[in-house]
Chain A
Amino acid sequence: MELFFNPFDNLLCILLGISFTVWFTLLLVFIIVPAIFGVSFGIRRLYMKTLLKIFEWATLRIERGAKEKNHHLYKPYSNAIIAREPTSLEEEIKEIRRSGSNKDLDSVSEFEMSDIFYFARRGVESIMDDEVTKRFSAEELESWNLLTRSNNNFHYISLRLTVLWWLGLLIRYGILLPLRVTLAFTGVSLLVFLTSLIGLLQNGRMKNVLSEKVHLMCYRICVRALTAIITYHDSENKPKNGGICVANHTSPIDVIILASDGCYAMVGQIHGGLMGVIQRSMVKACPHIWFERSEVKDRHLVAKRLSNHVQDKSKLPILIFPEGTCINNTSVMMFKKGSFDIGATVYPVAIKYDPRFGDAFWNSSKFGMVSYLLRMMSSWAIVCSVWYLPPMSREEGEDAVQFANRVKSAIARKGGLVDLLWDGGLKREKVKDTFKEEQQKLYSKMLVGTQEDRSRS
Chain B
Amino acid sequence: MGSSRSSLRRVPDGQQLLQETGFSAAVLLRLHQRFQFLDKDSRGHLRSEDLEAELSENPMGDRIVGAFFQPGQETVDFPSFVRVLAHFRPTEKNRTRGGEQPEPANSRNRKLKFAFQLYDRDRDGKISRTELLQVLREMLGLQVTEEQLQSIAERAIQEADLDRDHAICFDEFRKVGPVRLPEPQHVAVGLLLHQEGMARCSLNIQRKCDLCHFHLWN
A residues within 8 Å of B by Cβ?
45, 48-49, 52-53, 55-56, 59, 72, 74-86, 92, 95-97, 99-101, 110-130, 133, 139, 141-143, 148, 152, 154-155, 229, 231, 233, 330-331, 352, 354-356, 383, 385, 416, 418, 428, 430-431, 435-437, 439-441, 443-445, 447-448
B26, A74: Cβ atoms under 8 Å? yes
27 contacts between A and B (CB under 8 A): A48-B217, A52-B205, A78-B187, A79-B26, A79-B30, A81-B31, A92-B182, A96-B178, A96-B182, A100-B179, A100-B180, A117-B115, A119-B60, A120-B64, A121-B184, A123-B55, A123-B61, A126-B55, A127-B64, A139-B191, A148-B1, A354-B214, A416-B194, A439-B57, A443-B140, A447-B152, A448-B144
Chain A positions within 8 Å of B218 at CB level:
231
- Does B73 touch A at the CB level, under 8 Å? no
Q: Which of B171-187 contact A (CB under 8 A)?
A: 173, 176-187
Query: For A119, what are the chain B residues with a Cβ–Cβ distance below 8 Å?
Result: 58-60, 64, 139
Q: Are B214 and A111 closer than 8 Å at their CB atoms?
A: no
Interface residue range, chain B: 35 or more
B78 within 8 A of A: no
A86 to chain B, nearest CB (A): 4
Q: A100-B178, A124-B64, A330-B192 are in contact. Are A81 and B53 (CB under 8 A)?
A: no
Which chain B positions have C-beta within 8 A of A330?
192-193
Contacts of A77 in B (CB 8 A): 189
B34 CB-CB contact with A under 8 Å: yes
Instruction: Report yes or no: A127 in contact with B55, Cβ–Cβ below 8 A.
Output: yes
**Within residues 30 to 87 of chain B, which ones have a CB less than 8 A from any CB in chain A?**
30-31, 34, 37-38, 40, 51, 53-61, 64, 67, 85
In the bound assembly, the distance between CA atoms of A449 and B196 in angstroms comes to 26
Q: B169 near A: Cβ within 8 Å?
A: no
- Shortest CB-to-CB span from B163 to chain A, Å, is 16
State whether the Cβ of B94 lies closer than 8 Å to any Cβ in chain A.
Answer: no
Count chain A CB atoms within 10 A of each CB in B1, B27, B40, B160 and give the residue with the most.
B1
Contact A99 B197 (CB under 8 A): no
* B17 CB → nearest A CB, Å: 14
Task: Find chain A residues with CB under 8 A from B37 CB.
Answer: 130, 133
Known: A430-B56, A436-B58. A78 touches B191 (CB 8 A): no
Say yes or no: is B24 at the interface (Cβ < 8 Å to chain A). yes
Q: Mark B132-164, 1 if CB is under 8 A from A, else 0.
A: 000110011111100010001001100010000
Interchain CB contact under 8 A, A117 and B178: yes
Please pick, from B1, B85, B114, the residue contacting A128 in the complex, using a CB distance under 8 A. Answer: B85
Q: Are B189 and A123 in contact (CB under 8 A)?
A: no
Q: Which single member of A154, A352, A439, A447 contacts B59 (CB below 8 Å)? A: A439
Chain B nearest CB from A428 CB (Å) reads 4
Closest B residue to A74 by beta carbon equals: B26
A116/B217 in contact, CB under 8 A? no
Interface residues of chain B: helix, strand, loop or mixed (majority)? loop
The minimal Cβ–Cβ distance linking A299 to chain B, given in whole angstroms, is 27
Residue from the list B182, B196, B203 in contact with A84, Cβ < 8 A = B196
State whether A439 and B184 are in contact (beta carbons under 8 Å apart), knowing that A49-B205, A101-B176, A111-B136 are contacts in the complex.
no
Residue of A100, A125, A231, A440 touching B177 (CB-CB under 8 A): A100
**Chain A positions within 8 Å of B173 at CB level:** 113
With a cutoff of 8 Å between Cβ atoms, the chain A residues found around residue B115 in the complex are: 114, 116-117, 120
Assess whether B193 is in contact with A331, with CB atoms less than 8 Å apart.
yes
The verdict on A79 contacting B27 (CB below 8 Å), with A85-B185, A124-B64, A444-B144 known, is: yes
* Cβ-closest chain A residue relative to B172: A113
Can you name the residue of chain A whose Cβ is closest to the Cβ of B62?
A: A123
Q: Which of A92, A143, A418 contacts B195 (CB 8 A)?
A: A418
CB within 8 Å for A155 and B189 given contacts A72-B26, A113-B173: no
Across the interface, which residues of A come within 8 angstroms of B192, CB to CB? Answer: 139, 330, 355, 416
- With CB as the reference atom, state the residue of chain B lying closest to A435: B57
What's the Cα separation between A79 and B60 when bound, in Å?
Answer: 26
Contact B60 A115 (CB under 8 A): no
Distance between B28 CB and nearest chain A CB, rounded to angstroms: 10
Given contacts A111-B155, A436-B56, 18 further A-B contacts (CB under 8 A): A72-B24, A75-B188, A78-B188, A82-B185, A84-B196, A111-B136, A112-B156, A119-B64, A127-B51, A127-B85, A129-B34, A139-B193, A142-B188, A142-B190, A355-B191, A385-B215, A416-B192, A439-B59
